[in-house]
Amino acid sequence: MAKRILVVEDNDLNRKLFCDLLSANGFAVEPVADGREAIERARNFVPNLVIMDIQMPNISGLELIEAMKADKDLRAIPVLAVTAYAGKGDEERIRDAGAEGYLAKPVSIAPFMVAVRKLI
C-alpha cells in the first residue's frame, strides 16, 4: 500500500508541483489549499507525512503544526515544513513548534525527495 502524504500549500503551482512529484514517486497524495481544512483532512486521510507550508493566509503553518502536535491522534505524524520564510532563527522556531523536517524554498527536487523519504 502506498504511503500517504498530506500537502498543505496555498500556492497552486507549488501544491501541484509537490503533488505531481510525490505521485510520480509512488505516494498517495492529498492536496490541501486552505490551512483551515488541514486538521480535518489529516484526520480523514490519516497521512504518513504532512508537508506544510508556513506562510499561508487565514492560519499559519506554525499554528497548524502546534495544533497537530497537541492532538493525540495526529501528534505522531511527521511534518516537513517547506517555506520561503527562511530568516535567521526561523528553522529553530519551526522545529520548536514540532516540525521534524525543514526545507527552504525554492526547493530542489533531490533534497525534497531525500527529506520526504527520511521522514516517511
16-40 pLDDT, tens digit per residue, is 999 999 999 999 999 999 999 999 9
Give this prediction's pTM.
0.96
How many other CB atoms are there within 10 angstroms of residue 28's CB atom?
15
Identify the domain containing residue 60 by its residue range: 31-111
Residue 74 is part of a domain; what is its CATH number? Answer: 3.40.50.2300
Task: Name the domain count of the chain.
Answer: 1
Q: What is the DSSP string of 35-72?
A: GGGHHHHHHHH--SEEEEESS-SSS-HHHHHHHHHTST
Q: How far is CA 75 from CA 25, 79, 83, 99, in A?
A: 25, 9, 21, 10
40-68 pLDDT, tens digit per residue, is 999 999 999 999 999 998 999 999 999 99
Does residue 61 lie in a domain region? yes
